[in-house]
Amino acid sequence: MLDWKTNNAMAAGKGATVQQFVAIVGKDRLEAEVAPWGEGLLKINGREIARVDDAIDRRQAFRAIKLIAERYVETHMVKNTALALPSVKAKLLEGKRGLIVGIANDKSIAWGCAKAFRALGAELAVTYLNDKAKKFVEPLARALEAPILMPLDVSVGGQMEAVFERIGKEWGKLDFVVHSIAFSPKDALQGRVVDVSREGFATTMDVSCWTFIRMAHLAEPLMKKGGTLFTMSYYGSQMVVKNYNIMGVAKAALECAVRYIAAELGPKGIRVHAISPGPLATRAASGIPEFDALLDKAKSQAPARSLVSIDDVGVATAFLAHDAARLITGETLYIDGGYHIMD
């Protein structure tokens, strides 16, 4: 439902002829003009979209225009709104270049990060898992104006190296990396930790933890003037969270790797962080049983009484890439409305 408000700048009420109502969708301004004799006009950003001239009065004309506007927004604008980047005046990350790994679709945490980094002026290289994923990621990469878009399945030998090699050739430097990927085979993830197979454990640790270590290794020579490395973790690394199981073990190792790498690369001006968002309904999350219960608990118990969005995660992550955060490193930053401080 659109939120129509009377435009008080235009004459309204008794005696007024044409009345105007305004609704805002993202960056777009919708105007509905209705006349008492049953004429109506819909404009979007000043351009005429539809006209009604056979209504019996103003009220009926407005109803018809509202309906047309809602259909128009659904079919033409909602998709674009999902692609829209936040509008930010200060391009605080202008001149910085970064790699974003882990966009599967517009619900991905990596997409929230990419939008924030781009909105702040950074230039981005983006990867997609495989051909099947490409059709979802490509339009997003276009919205980000990403000059580098490459396939990256971390379990395929050579693909990670190829991405960093291309960045080295085209950019000659790298300022940040967002590693936002995790994977665990279903039987490993959904079973008890005590029952996990050697293969299940190895795959979980390999994709969810070792790949971050390797990306740090590949990024180091490109971060000649320093940089920031990010990975995504979760509270289940610290506490036993029902159904998080072996992924909690992998995230604990990941957060520990963050501290070691931060200590090792700190003298070169490279900072390393784990970002720990509260639960978000993404594709990866759909592999965790009873995830809705986790969302309900997070919302009702977090001091902020709110779930987080991928945009919340994105802006906080982007802040840590800014020079203002140059003396913050090795951190696990919770973006969870404060949930982690509660018992």
Ligand X SMILES: NC(=O)c1ccc[n+]([C@@H]2O[C@H](COP(=O)([O-])OP(=O)(O)OC[C@H]3O[C@@H](n4cnc5c(N)ncnc54)[C@H](O)[C@@H]3O)[C@@H](O)[C@H]2O)c1
**Active-site residue numbers?**
234, 244
Single residue of 25, 143, 219, 280 touching ligand X by CB under 6 A: 280
Question: How big is the chain by its Cα radius of gyration, in Å?
Answer: 24
Residue 321 found at the interface with ligand X (CB under 6 A): no
Nearer to ligand X, 81 or 155 (CB): 155
Smallest gap from Cβ 137 to ligand X, in A, equals 8
Single residue of 4, 21, 183, 334 touching ligand X by CB under 6 A: 183
Smallest gap from Cβ 189 to ligand X, in A, equals 11
**Candidates 64-72, 85-93, 100-108, 113-121; binding stretch for ligand X (CB under 6 A):** 100-108
Single residue of 98, 102, 227, 337 touching ligand X by CB under 6 A: 102
Rounded distance between C-alpha atoms, residue 252 and residue 235, angstroms: 9
Find, among 147, 151, 124, 123, the residue nearest to 137 by Cα. 151
Smallest gap from Cβ 88 to ligand X, in A, equals 22
Find, among 275, 301, 278, 309, the residue nearest to 291 by Cα. 278
How many residues make contact with ligand X (CB under 6 A)? 27
Q: Which residue has the tokens 């674009």?
A: 80
Single residue of 62, 164, 234, 339 touching ligand X by CB under 6 A: 234
8 A C-beta contact, residue 61 and residue 35: yes
Single residue of 19, 184, 237, 282 touching ligand X by CB under 6 A: 282
Residue 104 found at the interface with ligand X (CB under 6 A): yes
8 A C-beta contact, residue 17 and residue 35: yes
Q: Which residue has the tokens 């407005």?
A: 62
Residue 152 found at the interface with ligand X (CB under 6 A): yes
Residue 207 found at the interface with ligand X (CB under 6 A): yes
Single residue of 71, 76, 283, 305 touching ligand X by CB under 6 A: 283
Q: Six-digit token pair at 310?
A: 């991928």
Q: Which residue has the tokens 């409305």?
A: 337
Nearer to ligand X, 34 or 310 (CB): 310
Residue 219 found at the interface with ligand X (CB under 6 A): no
Q: Six-digit token pair at 123?
A: 């230039």
Helix (H, G, I), strand (E, B) or coil at 341: helix
Single residue of 68, 83, 193, 285 touching ligand X by CB under 6 A: 285
Question: How far is C-alpha 181 from the chain's CA centre?
Answer: 13
Q: Give, as ranges, the residues between 17 and 56 that touch ligand X (CB under 6 A).
A: none
Smallest gap from Cβ 215 to ligand X, in A, equals 11
Residue 154 found at the interface with ligand X (CB under 6 A): yes
Burial 130-167 (b: 16+ CB within 10 A, else e): eeebeebbeebbebbebebbbbbebeeeeebeebbeeb
* Residue spans of beta strands (DSSP E) within 120-261: 123-128, 148-151, 176-179, 227-232
Residue 155 found at the interface with ligand X (CB under 6 A): yes
Residues that bind ligand X (CB under 6 A): 102-104, 107-110, 129, 133, 152-155, 180-183, 207, 232, 234, 277, 279-280, 282-285
